[in-house]
Amino acid sequence: MDILTLFIVIPVITMIGIVFCKDHKQVKWAAAIGMGIQLLMAAYLIIHFLMERNAGNTAEMLFVKDVVWFPSLNIHYLVGVDGISVAMIGLTSIVIFAGVFASWEVEELTKEFFISLILLSSGVFGFFISLDLFTLFLFYELAVIPMYLLIGIWGSGPREYSAMKLTLMLMGGSALIMVGLLGLYFHSNPSGGQLTWSILDISKVHIPVDVQKFFFPFLFVGFGVLGALFPFHTWSPDGHASAPTAVSMLHAGVLMKLGGYGCFRVAVFLLPEAAHELGWIFIILTTISVIYGAFGAVWQKDLKYINAYSSVSHCGMVLFAILMFNKTAMDGAILQMISHGIMTALFFALIGMIYGRTHTRYINEMGGLMKVMPFLGVAYVIGGLASLGLPGFSGFVAEMTIFVGAFQNVDTFHRVATIIGVSSIVVTAVYILRVIGILLLGKIKNEHYEHLTDAKWHERLSTGVLIFGITAIGLAPLWLSEMISGGLGPIIQRLLLAGPVH
Amino acid sequence: MFTYTVWIVLIPFFLFILIGFFGHKFKPLVSGVVGTSGLFASMALSYYTAYQYFFVVGKTGDVFGKIIGYNTVWLKLTEKLHIDLGVLLDPISVMMLIVITTVSFMVHLYSIGYMQGEKGYMRFFSMLSLFSFSMLGLVVATNIFQMYIFWELVGVSSYLLIGFYYTRDTAVAASKKAFIVTRFADLGFLIGILLLSFNTGTFDFLTLTDPNGVAITQGSGIMFLGLSTMTWSMIFIFMGGAGKSAMFPLHIWLPDAMEGPTPVSALIHAATMVVAGVYLVARMFPIFHFSAPVALDVVMCVGAFSSIFAAVIACTQYDIKRVLAYSTMSQIGLMMFALGVSGYGAEEGLGFMASMFHLFTHAFFKALLFLAAGAIIHAVHSNYMNDMGGLRKHLPITHITFLIACLSIAGIPPLAGFFSKDEILAAGHEKSMMLFILGLIISALTAFYMFRLYFSIFWGKQQQYHHTPHEAPKVMTIPLILLALGAVFAGFIPFSSFVTSDGKPFASHIDFAVAIPAVLVGVLGALTAMMFYMKETNIPETISRSLGGFYRAAFRKFYIDEIYLFITKKILFNYVSRPVAWFDRHIVDGSMNGISYVTNEVSTRIKGMQSGQLQQYAWIFVSGAIGLALAFIYLWTL
Amino acid sequence: MFEGVPLTWFLILATIMFFVGIYGFLVRKNLITILMSLELILNSVNINFVAFNKLLYPEHLEGMFFTVFIIAVAAAEASVAIAIIINIYRRLVNIDVENMKEMKY
């Protein structure tokens, strides 16, 4: 069996294994072992991929596997990876691994919880490796549906409302995506003959500009809903606030990246001319996302809301960078996806752990927690500093790449948008330091908190893995950036056909 | 040749890792000793480097060149733009290496005693190491982006150290303020870097600052609002420098930063980090001079204004650390001012040399002042000079060293401050008489507030203390004595034969037309302070009352803090953030909920048709069928 | 058999029966009467079948057969319907159609 298919098979085997487990402990360990193997495999995949590339294999996609699945509509099970997908797979396996350990204390319906969680992850893995639009869509839906159950059953607060809102909005997005995908399918072969769903084949076809302009908004908005594009982001604060810890982690860390990846791999890559012509509308929207999310976060009082708005801001940066149409900015966009994925997973994990101890998420009710839980406190500070783009952490690398890339566009419109985007770093600093100041520093406000315990081993492991991720990227970003920009070649080639690329 | 210099930077980094991760396994004192000895190694390496650079290999022909000791690509952005990490050696960076490692070593040594018994001893030393690492990385930067990276890192170490006593609300607020204000300034710095790198296609200092290089010769780019792109980018970059160096109007964080432990104030907020802005301007000086003279004028005006502004405030404050903070701001203003009036070239660049010289000597006497203030606070347990008086008998060593520092900063010959300040005044004098007079006023004020401090602490009325103040332990007084030696003798270094704007040494001399008035106003200021504060008198009281509103405004720091608070708390918080949050909840989310509400509502309305009445359905069915039939018939007959 | 009777007459008869049936179906409240109206509608269709069969293919009998089928099916249907009605009567003690609105919304 080829290595990419294993990424879907292992979660399935893990799920089957979990079904046969007897008690909580076995379930948790089964999930941990399965996801541990997944993490090792991701590491192996990255190394293997880099070795192939170094050995001079310049194929657009590596490890390609093509099986006809549904001949009459020409649907294939077509998988393959380039540097970008490999990076995203690495991100997913880190986050899901940490997520399993972060949900170590789920007591209610443990078996079902882990099955849904792993089902979700297999959908995500499938999405990142698919090169066939139909399978891609299938895996996308597979990732979105378990979310409803996870939030609706294991969530907190107004969980039914949030789960319903999240699922309906994402489903609305999928409807738009489906229209776009059908549009691509029926124009995939202008000369007549066999139509195709394959991204690689469609990318070699020139689709008429009018058609592109018709379908581009469907695809971009459809994926943009998942990527928290203003004004379709409101599922995110409510959804995150109600979701259990691991689900928030996975959702903000990985699932929101499906949106960015989709915009990038499908909307912009396959419809380049339309992206050029209609890009300005979305640049305005994403610029609003960036600054608006940051200002929104300043006023919030619930930890999860703060982080959800900050995700809106950071994910807005991803879409913003994609629309800048040059290699540097796109490189930055992918880096930002990875960086934000790990970072926000760290935040949500920590918020879950803090909530598990204090039973409140309102920052005004807490204070001085650094003293009683130094490990979690320091981890939160590290996450915060990474989020505000401190050098040495991944956020800085990603943001600087985006800014330098975006600045290569010379016209005033792009310049102004970029400068507005850059100014978000100040607002980010404001809300991050505000939270750290109120939550962790100062005096302990509630004497019950004097006796709280610091992190347990599984919590240390979970946060440790994530912190390792952000610092490793932050200290030595070159290999990752090179790997990603290797994958950007064909995309830039195609954009060049559409118009000037800076 | 100079590859080993990378260890000057890396030793503190490994110290940080070592103490940060493993410090808690040992007794607290171990982290202090390890940190101090590591810094000593770094300092020894710096001195060796300085010797090698200045006396052995640095000169090519007659000029001190720029040597890349080490360089590696850290991140590739575009084909032309890549961020490197490396070590660049030239006169100013080598000088900074000496200043930073020396002061940092002294502060480490001093802190072993000062922080004794504090909770978080190990945290303190690991952060000091982090700071030293960042600051050293900043000064040896080979490119402007490396500088920005370490610029942010010094910002965060400063944040962490100001907030060292994190259970104290004022410290938390001060650290937050320091970080956000400098972050805002860094936004300007970043935009400046983006503009500059886009224009010139490089981050590299060697290319950027070469007077015959492409960056300078290619011209200044398009105009915007009457100024060229180059000018704009330099103004933006200077904004970053002004933020870090606490220049008006971005100075508000510095006085509050005194909430940190005193050794931190000495290291970060007096000797090293706050002069990073000056260093930045000095580093970019050729571009300022050739491509953006307007920006250089901005530097001069901001520097001069900050200097006099801070000097006036310093005369009114009672917290001794705040007085020192404003004095720092005033001295840095002088350095900026000197850079602003300077030209390029050996003799032309007198201001440049003077600025660097003053930076060098200032590091010694200001660090000394802070450390001595720390010893005083340690003895008296108060920051306020009202609680002090007559301490000269109790703290003899502190007294002498403090006096030396005061004499030095007041510019009394033959102490170090005299020489450097004299060069600054001479540079101002060359430019215009007005600026010279301004410099004299600042000098007089400096002497006045320093001696006001000195006399109220060590003379003045005898206070009753709870327990008799006692001299600090040896580990604290030795750094004081060593720094005092620096404050006395640093001025005798023939600075102009080492550090000049273009690397060409020249001979400087004392111009008596400048020196005599400078010394006179210094002595005058000191004597005035002596008259006011040596014995308990009511002269200061009378004068401050007669100044009325002006005094009150100066005492309240000209209400700058209040203005900032108004803008951030009132306007940004209430009129931007809150409406955004409201807008999001009610308009954006409301419209999403609105869609679901409309769907719900429509379904409630039309569900009445499902009445369960069979005959009603039949009616609708039949009338529909008949209607359709009629319609078809009509269509057919058309 | 019906020599000389024009087709129109049959159709008029069938139409009248049909609409009488419809009328009964729509306005009567008693389920049995509704069932009877339904039979009227069915039978009007049967008349049409027979008449058209006679007119178009006098030598074939398919129309007649279908009519017989429909009568058979209608009988079966009526028995099922009456069984349902009896059950309803047992539950509700009347067979007024307006009381049967369990299926609304």
List of chain A residues whose C-beta atoms are within 8 Å of the C-beta of residue B149: 391-392, 396
Cβ separation of C104 and B619 shorter than 8 Å? Answer: no
pTM exceeding 0.90: no
Q: How confident is the model at residue B627 (pLDDT cuts 50, 70, 90)?
A: very high
C interface mutation test: which of B613, B620, B621, B626 has the most C CBs within 10 A? B613
B142: helix, coil or strand?
coil
Asked if the C7-96 domain carries CATH number 1.10.287.3510, the reply is yes
B71: helix, coil or strand?
strand
| Burial category of B506 from C-beta neighbours within 10 Å (exposed 0-12, middle 13-18, buried 19 and up) | middle
Instruction: Tell me: pLDDT of A361 over 90.
Output: no
User: A62: which strand partners?
Assistant: A81
List of chain C residues whose C-beta atoms are within 8 Å of the C-beta of residue B607: 105
B interface mutation test: which of A430, A460, A488 has the most B CBs within 10 A? A430
User: What pLDDT is stored for residue B167 in this prediction?
Assistant: 83
Q: Are A61 and A81 in contact (CB under 8 A)?
A: yes
Q: Are B518 and B440 in contact (CB under 8 A)?
A: yes
DSSP 8-state class, residue C60: -
User: What pLDDT is stored for residue A502 in this prediction?
Assistant: 46
User: What pLDDT is stored for residue B494 in this prediction?
Assistant: 82
Q: Which residues have CB under 8 Å from B215's CB, separation 6+?
A: B199, B200, B202, B207, B208, B209, B287, B291
Mean per-residue pLDDT, A482-488: 84
B153 touches chain A (CB under 8 A): yes
Say if residue C6 is preceded by a cis peptide, omega within 30 of 0: no
Say if residue B517 is preceded by a cis peptide, omega within 30 of 0: no
Q: Are A366 and A438 in contact (CB under 8 A)?
A: yes
User: What pLDDT is stored for residue B40 in this prediction?
Assistant: 92
A230 touches chain B (CB under 8 A): yes
| Burial category of B338 from C-beta neighbours within 10 Å (exposed 0-12, middle 13-18, buried 19 and up) | buried
Q: Count Cβ neighbours within 10 Å for each residue of B549-573 and write b for 16 or more, e otherwise.
A: eebeebeebeebeeebeeebeeebb
C interface mutation test: which of B606, B615, B616 has the most C CBs within 10 A? B615
Q: Count Cβ neighbours within 10 Å for each residue of A107-127 and write b for 16 or more, e otherwise.
A: eeebbbbbbbbbbbbbbbbbb
Tell me which chain C residue has its CA closest to the CA of residue B615: C26
Instruction: Tell me: pLDDT of A323 over 90.
Output: no
Q: For chain B, how far is it from start to end, CA to CA, in angstroms?
A: 100
Q: How confident is the model at residue A500 (pLDDT cuts 50, 70, 90)?
A: low
Reported ipTM: the value is 0.89
* Range of weakest confidence among A170-184, A325-339, B332-346, B507-521: B507-521
Mean per-residue pLDDT, A405-409: 85
Instruction: Tell me: pLDDT of C2 over 60.
Output: no
Instruction: Tell me: pLDDT of C4 over 80.
Output: no
How much of chain A exceeds pLDDT 70, in percent? 99
Instruction: Return the axis-axis angle of helices B293-314 and B433-458, rounded to nearest 10°.
Output: 30
Per-residue model confidence as pLDDT tens digits over A25-82 = 888 888 889 899 989 999 999 998 888 888 887 777 888 888 888 888 888 888 888 8
Per-residue model confidence as pLDDT tens digits over C22-35 = 999 999 888 899 99
Among the listed residues B243, B255, B226, the one whose alpha carbon sits nearest the alpha carbon of residue B323: B255
Domain locations in chain C? Answer: 7-96
Among the listed residues A218, A222, A227, A223, the one whose alpha carbon sits nearest the alpha carbon of residue A290: A227
Average per-residue pLDDT in chain A? 86
List of chain A residues whose C-beta atoms are within 8 Å of the C-beta of residue B580: 292, 295-296, 299
In angstroms, rounded to a whole number, what is the distance separating the alpha carbons of residues A301 and A158? 17
Say which residue the tokens 């928290």 belong to. A228
Cβ separation of B77 and A401 shorter than 8 Å? Answer: yes
Which H or E element spans position B507?
none
Per-residue model confidence as pLDDT tens digits over A428-484 = 888 888 888 888 887 777 777 777 777 788 888 888 889 998 998 888 888 888 888
Q: How confident is the model at residue B629 (pLDDT cuts 50, 70, 90)?
A: very high
Instruction: Tell me: pLDDT of A357 over 60.
Output: yes
Written as six digits, the tokens of B322 are: 């705040």
- Residue type for position B370: F
Tell me which chain A residue has its CA closest to the CA of residue B199: A408
User: What pLDDT is stored for residue C37 in this prediction?
Assistant: 92
User: Which one has a higher pLDDT value, A167 or B218?
Assistant: A167
Written as six digits, the tokens of A156 are: 């907190």
Instruction: Tell me: pLDDT of B214 over 80.
Output: no
Please provide the DSSP assignment of A343-400 as one string.
Answer: HHHHHHHHHHHHHHHHS--BGGG---HHHH-HHHHHHHHHHHHHHTT-TTSHHHHHHH
Give the one of B612, B618, B619 whose C-beta lies nearest to C103's C-beta: B612
Q: How far is CA C14 from CA A98, A260, C32, C46, in A?
A: 78, 68, 22, 8
3-state secondary structure B18-41: HHHHHHHHCCHHHHHHHHHHHHHH
**Helix spans in B52-90 (H):** none
User: Which one has a higher pLDDT value, B217 or A181?
Assistant: A181
Q: How confident is the model at residue B247 (pLDDT cuts 50, 70, 90)?
A: confident
Among the listed residues B485, B468, B347, B516, the one whose alpha carbon sits nearest the alpha carbon of residue B404: B485
Mean per-residue pLDDT, C68-96: 90
User: What pLDDT is stored for residue A68 in this prediction?
Assistant: 87
Say which residue the tokens 């400096």 belong to. B446
Distance of residue A282 Cα from the nearest chain B Cα, in angstroms: 17
Per-residue model confidence as pLDDT tens digits over B419-442 = 888 888 888 888 888 888 888 888
Mean per-residue pLDDT, C72-92: 91
Q: How confident is the model at residue B397 (pLDDT cuts 50, 70, 90)?
A: confident
* Range of weakest confidence among A432-436, B608-612, C9-13: B608-612
List of chain B residues whose C-beta atoms are within 8 Å of the C-beta of residue A312: none
Average per-residue pLDDT in chain B? 85
